[in-house]
Amino acid sequence: DPDNVVLCLLAADEEEAGDAALQIHFTLIQAFCCENDINILRVSNPARLAQLLLPAPRPEPPADLHCVLVTNPHASQWKDPALSQLMCFCRESRYMDQWVPVINLPER
């Protein structure tokens, strides 16, 4: 339900930049997000994103986190100050013609 999605994270590292299939996938997701007024952020370190989002180390390989949709089922998404700041960051990035801002997640 795109009405409850407030953010789309697209994660890829430098080695995956040349992956044509992944870039086509990202292009289609970005088109969907733009059509539905969903903010988009690119994340440069999928391994670090996995560390932040997934529970403690697991025996199986990490889940595919190339695309993460953040949902907010509440009527007012502005109640969360962190989410509000993130939405402001995305809006300001668009004003500077950076339609998909990039967040560099440093190694721990």
Domains parsed from the chain with CATH numbers = 2-103 (3.30.1330.30)
What pTM did the predictor assign? 0.78
Query: Per residue in 52-105, pLDDT tens?
Result: 888 776 666 566 788 888 887 665 555 678 878 888 888 888 888 877 888 888
Give how far Cα 40 sits from Cα of 56, 93, 94, 108, Å.
27, 11, 10, 24
Q: Is 53 left (phi over 0), alpha (psi -120 to 50) or beta?
A: alpha
